Amino acid sequence: MQLFNTLGKRKEVFEPLVPGKVGLYACGVTVYDDVHLGHARSAVVFEVLVRYLRWRGLTVTWVRNYTDIDDKILKRAAEEGAPWEEVARRYIVSFQEDMAALGIPPAQIEPKATEHIPEMLEIIARLMDKGFAYQRPAGGDVYFRVRRFPDYGKLSGQSLEDLEAGARVEVDELKEDPLDFVLWKASKPGEPAWPSPWGPGRPGWHIECSAMSMKYLGETLDIHGGGRDLVFPHHENELAQSEAANAKPFARFWVHHGLLTIDKEKMSKSLGNFFTVKEVLGRFPAEVVRFFLINAHYRSPLDFSDAALEEAETALLRLYSTLARIDELTAGRPAPPAAAPPGFAPAALSPEERERLAALRDRFQAALDDDLNTAQALGYLFDAVRLANRLLEAPETDPAYLAFLSRLSAEIRELGQVLNLLQDDPAAMVARLRQKTADLALTPEEIEALIARRTAARQSKDFATADAIRRELDEKGIVLEDTPKGTIWRVKG
């Protein structure tokens, strides 16, 4: 499998350090509020990566932390007049509820920063011994001496000169250099504090991830992941302090996903342009949301809109509808043989199409092997469904025909499982997804039939008919969009 490594900025063949065993650490959330859909993207991307690595036979240890001490948590607690521990606990529960509602299982290890203070102090002590950390005056903040680490900037691809030009010219008596970052914050009156050799205080943000990842996965991780926005400064600093302390590579692969945007701007709490997972799940089924989040390459930015979610809903309905039709056709019949006899060739498909179906699993795997290209992998599932629909339109009496369809349906579901999709009962899911379209003048089958006629008309260059069908659908409140995966429809909003 190839993965794009931010360190080196290219796709590289991924092999774990210990054959067969992968350690993956993905930065989790700061628990001071309900999470938004951008956080869900991070959770879904790494969950699918973990699923895929396991499907490929690897044992994966997946660690995702909670930042449960931070300025934002203290600010929230002060606003509410509540203890900070209670705020942190409440939003850890809220995050866990949201993930469960989204259908994403927990990571195997979900450590909390506040439970790993001794491990952080141990790393800071090592950095002190090696001259990478300093404190002035005694009792003040402890900083990392950036200029002493010659590789600083290698992850984000910035030189010290670039960084210096970008650094705020701040007068900070405590820092030797504006580039230095904090490892340990001296406590201010009224703030939570833990004892340390450098006085009572609390950890800086970056040190917690170094401490927790190394504790559970060793000094060199196979994969360290997070959103693009974490490359600098968070991951650059994690890398610097970890490699300075251990004198060995910290993470072999740095995997960063693109950000979720609204109108091309990052979805973030601080910009105020966000939708919480709870809000989105109030309007769309969890599987539609997961489908939306992986129907784009994980490294691309992904723009959120109601129309995009509705499109995802229609696309998922199309997949489930075909599975439901196959279920219906085979229900009550004697169980067909597990596979059609090798010589069976359904008449509705050309030899090239039959070959495509036979290669479905290989193509699906090749897409995910290529830097986890979930969009391409889904494209192959849609292709299979399109061909299955053609078979359904041309029923055959040969019992091998049913066996062929059953086998295809089972394979689509099995591959869907790798993406955490298509595991629901098809008929129930179709009924659920159709509720929204119940007031339309057309049934989804009628819409699909019109789309098929329009596609055929376009293929035979009968554009007048194609346009007339588009107009007819438009008048009935259905908008069409031609995509590389075929024509999709959605209800005009």
Q: Which residues bind Zn ion (CB under 5 A)?
A: 27, 209
**Residue 39 or residue 470: which is nearer to Zn ion going by CB?**
39
**Closest approach of Cβ 65 to Zn ion, in Å?**
7
DSSP E strand stretches across 105-154: 133-135, 142-144
**Residue 40 or residue 209: which is nearer to Zn ion going by CB?**
209
Burial of 88 (0-12, 13-18, 19+ CB in 10 A): buried
- The angle at the Cα of 405, spanning 481 to 287, to the nearest 5 degrees, equals 50
**Residue 209 or residue 488: which is nearer to Zn ion going by CB?**
209
Give me the amino acid identity at 411: E
Find the farthest-apart pair of alpha carbons in the chain and give their distance in angstroms, rounded.
Answer: 87
**Residue 210 or residue 420: which is nearer to Zn ion going by CB?**
210
**Closest approach of Cβ 444 to Zn ion, in Å?**
44
**Residue 127 or residue 419: which is nearer to Zn ion going by CB?**
127
Contact 177, 187 (CB under 8 A): no
**Closest approach of Cβ 432 to Zn ion, in Å?**
37
**Residue 91 or residue 134: which is nearer to Zn ion going by CB?**
91
Beta strands 251-257 and 221-227 are parallel
**Closest approach of Cβ 25 to Zn ion, in Å?**
8
C-beta contacts of 426-434 below 8 A and 24+ residues apart: 426/320, 426/321, 426/323, 426/324, 426/327, 427/324, 427/327, 427/328, 429/287, 429/316, 429/320, 429/324, 430/317, 430/320, 430/321, 430/324, 432/285, 433/285, 433/288, 433/313, 433/316, 433/317, 433/320, 434/317
Burial of 452 (0-12, 13-18, 19+ CB in 10 A): middle
**Closest approach of Cβ 152 to Zn ion, in Å?**
17
**Closest approach of Cβ 212 to Zn ion, in Å?**
8
**Closest approach of Cβ 71 to Zn ion, in Å?**
15
CA atoms within 13 A on the CB side of 153: 15
**Residue 206 or residue 485: which is nearer to Zn ion going by CB?**
206
**Closest approach of Cβ 49 to Zn ion, in Å?**
17
Tokens read off for 235: 């991951």
Distance CA 423, CA 86 (A): 37
**Residue 114 or residue 376: which is nearer to Zn ion going by CB?**
114
Dihedral sign (CA 392, 374, 273, 288): positive
